[in-house]
Amino acid sequence: MNPSKTSRDSVTDILLEEEPVALVVHDTEARALEEAGFNVLHVTGTDEGLQILNDKTPDLVIAGLAEASLEEDLGFLQAARREAMPLVVVTEARNADLAYEAGATDVWPDNASPAMLRQRLAFLVKATRAFRELCRKSQSLANHDAVTGLPNRHVFIDMVRRALEQSQRQSRPVAVLLLDIDRFKKVNESLGHRAGDKLLRDVAERLVQCLRKADVVARESDCKIARRGGDEFLFLLSDVSEAHHAASAARRLLDALRLPFRAEGKDVYLTASIGISMSQSADATEDLLRQAEIAMYSAKDSGRNAFQFFDEPMHAAVVERFEMETHLRRALAQDELELFYQPLVNAKTRAFVGVEALLRWNHPTMGRLSPDAFIPLAEETGLIISMGRWVLRTACQQLRSWRKQGVGALRISVNVSPREFSAPGFLESLKNILEETRMRPGELELELTERGVMQHDSKTLEVLRAVQKMGVRLAVDDFGTGHTTFHYLKHFPLDTIKIDKSFTQGVASDTKDAAITTALLVMAHRLKLNVVAEGVETEAQMSFLGDHRCDEVQGYLFGRPLPADKLFSALERYVCA
């Protein structure tokens, strides 16, 4: 770079600052541009130029390439190259190839007219600024959530990392909060994704405003919010000296959601579950985020609309759950599942009229597990769908096997989970299993809980009618323990209700249980429904149920659940209907 001036048409070597752009051909024009408000930064040597480039990226660099300082000028060009920054070299035509090899964006002849230089320079600056703006927007999209405009998880992780570093130096704890909007998926499905996105923006705005007022917890500059994705938001609280400060922030966040939001002209009420992790329990960014997530799911399990702090027992429970899920995924493939069968008995004749198929898991280390130990996990992970099909197929095959052994007409009852019942392909799978096992549809009864019947009103009704059309019987299990409503008894095509054992076990000793059970029997019979009383263990209970015209009973009085090969030998005193 040669700072000296040569002929009348030579160009002064300059660096142009970002705002605004100036072209200098002569000193007199430079002064005129400066007087007009342009910023021009003169450079008197290559070292000074490189030092300035280390501090800023101007709109472009104009440099000379002179014979007298060729090696030095070429070195400057190679060192000055920057992405998205034009590097213009003014030199003699014979040096053009050297300039391009050194990294020049464009080479201008040193005898070019000022008008031509100005036009070419203006084009370069305009194109460069447009490219930079595109890069800026791309970077913004990469670092910010497209729906809410909040920093995304990637940026938040960097915030937490820097906050932890500062926390370790200054012994000032930080807290990470993970907020998940409860049941937002259903809100999104009912309103539509466009309205759902608008609702998320409104939620984000309210949460930001809430934290900006939280002077007690942390200063505005110390409190950061990001969207993790979906319906989850992350919060970073710096300089949180006590855990109750983080708890206060969580309460304010929950309170901020209490007032309704407006969406599609309707009031929408939202709640959230929050998990909190403190830096005293973790010294790594990913650990803090993982702990906050564990605590958030614990808050959901505790009833939602609440917050929970992470603690080690939570972590132990998550590890245990993960191991259980891993084993459960292998259970089908390794033939660890087994069906037990409990008899259904005619209450009047005490004839053996059917069985209920009950799933057991022969765990390799924990022994035989009842459904309560693993069905909730199977429903949560979706494994219940493949497990349910296995249960249905195995039960139907077993009934066919008994038929071949000469057993009389029996009905087999199979429990179906809400998730399995509403899964795509359920009806087709049911039809295929009936055909494969040559099962008469009327010999199969599907049992659903009240929660399962009520969970998907219109969709459930459609599937129930299709099942009824196949000829398969339908029963409501544990009747009276869920959100009991007589609406579905009137409109849904049911065949049987099963009175829960919490009522039947007290019929001989508790007047309220007796009254409730009597009322249920009368109502069911008026609706022409078959009634099964569960949990019958004594002759006194049996006598009451028989006197009140209960149709069928099930319980330890007539047999515990047993494997198929042991069932009939234990029921020799009962006669098949």
Q: Which two tokens stand for residue 395?
A: 């039960």
Q: Which residues of 353-385 are buried (b: 16+ CB within 10 A; e: fewer)?
A: bbbbbbbbbebeeeeebeeeebbeebbeeebbb
Q: What is the pLDDT of residue 86?
A: 73
**Does 292 reside within a domain?**
yes
- Model confidence pLDDT, tens digit, residues 129-176: 676 676 666 665 667 777 888 888 888 888 888 888 887 777 778 889
Same domain, 158 and 109: no
Same domain, 105 and 206: no
Q: Which two tokens stand for residue 341?
A: 């069968």
- Model confidence pLDDT, tens digit, residues 461-513: 888 899 999 999 999 998 877 655 677 777 788 999 999 999 998 999 999 99
Q: What is the pLDDT of residue 221?
A: 32
Distance CA 492, CA 486 (A): 10
Q: Which two tokens stand for residue 73?
A: 């000028």
Number of neighbours of residue 67 by Cβ within 10 angstroms: 11
**Does 402 reside within a domain?**
yes
Same domain, 374 and 496: yes
At 435, is the pLDDT very low, low, confident or very high (cuts 50, 70, 90)?
A: very high
At 39, is the pLDDT very low, low, confident or very high (cuts 50, 70, 90)?
A: low
Q: What is the pLDDT of residue 8?
A: 29
Q: CATH no. for residue 305?
A: 3.30.70.270
Same domain, 175 and 299: yes
Look at residues 266, 286, 310 and tell me which one is the last residue of a structural domain.
Answer: 310
Domain that holds residue 62: 14-142
Lookup result for tokens 């059309």: 469
Q: What is the pLDDT of residue 467?
A: 94
Q: What is the mean pLDDT of residues 95-109?
A: 82
Q: What is the mean pLDDT of residues 279-286?
A: 74
Q: What is the pLDDT of residue 342?
A: 95
Distance of CA 338 to the CA centre of its chain: 33
**Does 337 reside within a domain?**
no
**Does 165 reside within a domain?**
yes
Judge whether 110 and 90 are in contact, CB under 8 Å.
yes
Same domain, 447 and 366: yes
Which SS3 state, helix, strand or coil, does residue 124 take?
A: helix
Judge whether 474 and 445 are in contact, CB under 8 Å.
yes
| 78-82, 284-288, 464-468: range with lowest mean pLDDT | 78-82
Distance CA 256, CA 272 (A): 10
**Does 336 reside within a domain?**
no
Which SS3 state, helix, strand or coil, does residue 412 take?
A: strand
Same domain, 265 and 375: no
Same domain, 86 and 166: no
Number of neighbours of residue 444 by Cβ within 10 angstroms: 25
**Does 147 reside within a domain?**
no
Same domain, 171 and 211: yes
Distances (CA, A) of 33 to 36, 129, 170: 5, 20, 50
- Model confidence pLDDT, tens digit, residues 517-572: 999 999 999 999 999 999 999 999 999 999 999 999 999 999 899 999 888 765 55
Number of neighbours of residue 218 by Cβ within 10 angstroms: 22
Number of neighbours of residue 426 by Cβ within 10 angstroms: 20
Look at residues 45, 65, 57, 53 and name the one whose alpha carbon lies nearest to residue 107. Answer: 65
Q: CATH no. for residue 485?
A: 3.20.20.450
Same domain, 479 and 534: yes
Same domain, 138 and 170: no
Name the more confident of 83 and 533. Answer: 533
Neighbouring residues of 66: CB distance < 8 A, sequence distance ≥ 6: 2, 6, 73, 91
Q: What is the mean pLDDT of residues 412-421?
A: 91
Judge whether 450 and 479 are in contact, CB under 8 Å.
yes
DSSP at 280? G
- Model confidence pLDDT, tens digit, residues 174-220: 889 999 999 888 888 888 888 888 998 899 888 888 764 432 222 22
**Does 277 reside within a domain?**
yes
Cis peptide, bond prior to residue 109, ω within 30 of zero: no
Look at residues 534, 516, 522, 441 and name the one whose alpha carbon lies nearest to residue 489. Answer: 522
| 1-10, 13-22, 113-122, 348-357: range with lowest mean pLDDT | 1-10
Look at residues 78, 66, 74 and name the one whose alpha carbon lies nearest to residue 2. Answer: 66
Distance of CA 39 to the CA centre of its chain: 51
The percentage of residues in the chain with a pLDDT greater than 70, rounded to a whole number, is 77
Same domain, 375 and 522: yes
Q: Which two tokens stand for residue 216?
A: 């007690």
The percentage of residues in the chain with a pLDDT greater than 90, rounded to a whole number, is 36
Look at residues 142, 165, 187 and tell me which one is the last residue of a structural domain.
Answer: 142
Same domain, 215 and 100: no
Look at residues 310, 329, 359 and tell me which one is the last residue of a structural domain.
Answer: 310
DSSP at 26? S
When divided into structural domains, the chain yields a total of 3
pLDDT at 240 over 50: yes
**Does 286 reside within a domain?**
yes
User: What is the DSSP secondary-structure string of 342-366?
Assistant: EEEEETTT--EEEEEEEEEEEETTT
Mean of the per-residue pLDDT values for the chain?
A: 80
Which SS3 state, helix, strand or coil, does residue 399 take?
A: helix
Residue count (the chain): 577
Q: CATH no. for residue 130?
A: 3.40.50.2300
Q: What is the pLDDT of residue 414?
A: 97
Global pTM value? 0.60
